[in-house]
Amino acid sequence: MKKPFLTLAQAREIIKTYPTPFHIYDEAGIRENARRLKAAFAWNPGFKEYFAVKATPTPGILKLLREEGCGVDCSSLTELMLAERCGFSGGEIMFSSNETPAEEFELAARLGAHINLDDLTHVEFLYKTLGRAPETVCCRFNPGGVFALGESKEGFQVMDNPGQAKYGMTRPQLAQAFLRLKELGTKRFGIHAFLASNTISNEYYPALARLLFQTAADVAAETGCAVAFINLSGGVGVPYRPEQPANDIAVIGEEVRRAYEEILVPAGMGDVAVFTELGRFMLAPFGHLVTTAVHEKHIYKEYIGVDACAANLMRPAVYGAYHHITVLGKEDAPCGRVYDVVGSLCENSDKFAIDRALPEIEMGDLLVLHDTGAHGFSMGYNYNGKLRSAELLLKADGAVELMRRAETPDDYFATLVW
Ligand SMILES: *Cc1c(COP(=O)(O)O)cnc(C)c1O
């Protein structure tokens, strides 16, 4: 059973100041989870998590993660600016972008970020843009084909399609990029790959690590380039459904260590740092979207209308993603009703839940949508003139802090030319 980190009494108190809908994050949960990740990789002295800013681009969250020793992974100009304003600099920033404009490489270089090149042609583009090659450069690898793990009767545990993905360079291009960068003056190299998203499996990172460690050993031998770090990127998932098992980050860290000791240590590369760029794993379970039931409707189906909509959380509408729902104060009530829980967009896809068994909902009930801490608020938009909500932090001491105010109509009109 999924239990909210917020009680009905707390939520009632909060809405006196901050009306629904709002996103709220659990500081204690975020910190504990970040510490579990750090402990799982403590065997690697250079280990660092670069939180994927796109998952939750909120200064209150980024600063908190920085206190836990995390860096940030940025992919755009404004994400870099945000990182800078939150106090991140130099090797605390990874810049993993694609189709990158020159000004973004310039800012990344000025901040001293680790630049992660998405393509072989970006080597010359970066050199032309900066007039030099950075001391340290990372290259993104795409092995092509299909990436699949753990076949069973139910299918594959992990299945994704790097061969169809726009990211990264081929294996021969990776060696070519290293050689050209070395010629231009780069001294330290990184290798990065992101092969599967939201994996519910302890096997994804270890399998990816084996692939990247072997690739690093081979490319280092082939090119004479010094590999300083391997970036396992994102992709470790979270159980959105209550019946799904959670990943065990301690087991994942231990299995990556095994691969490291079997492949990199014998290759004389026992000083290589391991980096991660997790977004979802770091934040998703520690965010709730809180919304009020405002209408009910009985036609061919039973509908509950809420004051949030897909503009606050687009994953259900766009991916058909499951987000668990708890009716606050009715945590233990029997789920005797079946509802579609819907937002107010003029789009029939604006459904947070379809045919969901829930306790009987009364108007004014507060609903929690679970696991919205990553790729939730950040994917929001203004369709139908909807305004972005506030983001709140539930502090470890129980206090509530505003991290981002709700948009007002003035924000919506601010860019218009009349
Ligand atoms: C989105 C992204 C991540 C984070 O992915 P999660 O699924 O949230 O872990 C990490 N690295 C890069 C380059 C990304 O684009």
pTM for the predicted model, two decimal places: 0.97
What are the beta bridge partners of residue 94?
Answer: 73, 114
Of ligand 1's listed atoms, the one at least distance from the Cα of 284 is: 8
Ligand 1 center from residue 73 Cα (angstroms): 8
What are the beta bridge partners of residue 138?
Answer: 116, 190
Q: In what helix (H) or strand (E) does residue 80 lie, and over which residues does it extend?
A: helix 77-85
Give the pLDDT of residue 295.
98
Of ligand 1's listed atoms, the one at least distance from the Cα of 198 is: 7
Of ligand 1's listed atoms, the one at least distance from the Cα of 236 is: 9
Q: Are 2 and 243 in contact (CB under 8 A)?
A: no
Give the pLDDT of residue 156.
84
Residue 278: closest CA among 72, 66, 47, 68: 72
Question: In the chain, what's the furthest Cα-to-Cα distance?
Answer: 70
Specify the CATH superfamily of domain 8-23+285-413.
Lyase, Ornithine Decarboxylase; Chain A, domain 1 (2.40.37.10)
High-pLDDT (> 90) share of the chain, %: 97
Q: Are 302 and 372 in contact (CB under 8 A)?
A: no
Question: Any idea what the Cα angle at residue 76 is, between residues 73 and 81, rounded to 5°?
Answer: 80
Whether ligand 1 lies within 6 angstroms of the CB of 197 is answered as yes
Dihedral sign, CA of 298, 299, 300, 305?
A: negative
High-pLDDT (> 70) share of the chain, %: 100
Ligand 1 center from residue 202 Cα (angstroms): 17
Domain parsing of the chain, residue ranges: 8-23+285-413, 27-284
Give the pLDDT of residue 150.
84
pLDDT (tens digit per residue) in 176-229: 999 999 999 999 999 999 999 999 999 999 999 999 999 999 999 999 999 999
Confidence band of 397 (pLDDT split at 50, 70, 90): very high
Whether ligand 1 lies within 6 angstroms of the CB of 96 is answered as yes
Ligand 1 center from residue 203 Cα (angstroms): 18
pLDDT (tens digit per residue) in 5-51: 999 999 999 999 999 999 999 999 999 999 999 999 999 999 999 99
| Fold that domain 27-284 belongs to in CATH | TIM Barrel (3.20.20)
Q: Is it the case that residue 154 has pLDDT exceeding 80?
A: no
Of ligand 1's listed atoms, the one at least distance from the Cα of 374 is: 8
Give the pLDDT of residue 157.
83
Whether ligand 1 lies within 6 angstroms of the CB of 315 is answered as no
Of ligand 1's listed atoms, the one at least distance from the Cα of 54 is: 1
Whether ligand 1 lies within 6 angstroms of the CB of 94 is answered as no
Confidence band of 152 (pLDDT split at 50, 70, 90): confident
Mean pLDDT of the 110-127 span:
98
- Alpha helices, DSSP H, located in 145-244: 171-184, 204-223
Give the pLDDT of residue 34.
98
pLDDT (tens digit per residue) in 312-366: 999 999 999 999 999 999 999 999 999 999 999 999 999 999 999 999 999 999 9
Give the pLDDT of residue 362.
98
d(CA 57, CA 74): 10
Q: Are 328 and 6 in contact (CB under 8 A)?
A: yes
Q: In what helix (H) or strand (E) does residue 339 lie, and over which residues does it extend?
A: strand 337-342
Residue 391: closest CA among 381, 378, 409: 378
Confidence band of 158 (pLDDT split at 50, 70, 90): confident
d(CA 154, CA 382): 39
Lowest mean pLDDT among 152-166, 263-277, 366-380: 152-166
Confidence band of 373 (pLDDT split at 50, 70, 90): very high
Q: For residue 189, how many C-alpha atoms fall within 13 Å in the half-sphere facing its CB?
A: 29
Nearest CA owner, ligand 1 atom 10:
234
Percentages helix, strand, coil for the chain (3-state, rounded to 5) are 35, 25, 40
83, 108, 112, 277, 306 from 94: Cα distances, Å: 10, 9, 9, 9, 38
Checking phi first, is residue 240 left (phi over 0); if not, alpha (psi -120 to 50) or beta?
Answer: alpha
Q: Are 105 and 130 in contact (CB under 8 A)?
A: yes
Whether ligand 1 lies within 6 angstroms of the CB of 284 is answered as no
Q: In what helix (H) or strand (E) does residue 400 lie, and over which residues does it extend?
A: strand 400-404
d(CA 291, CA 308): 6
Whether ligand 1 lies within 6 angstroms of the CB of 4 is answered as no
Give the pLDDT of residue 155.
80
The length of the chain in residues reads 418
Give the pLDDT of residue 408.
98
Whether ligand 1 lies within 6 angstroms of the CB of 277 is answered as yes
Computed over every residue of the chain, the mean pLDDT equals 97
Confidence band of 134 (pLDDT split at 50, 70, 90): very high
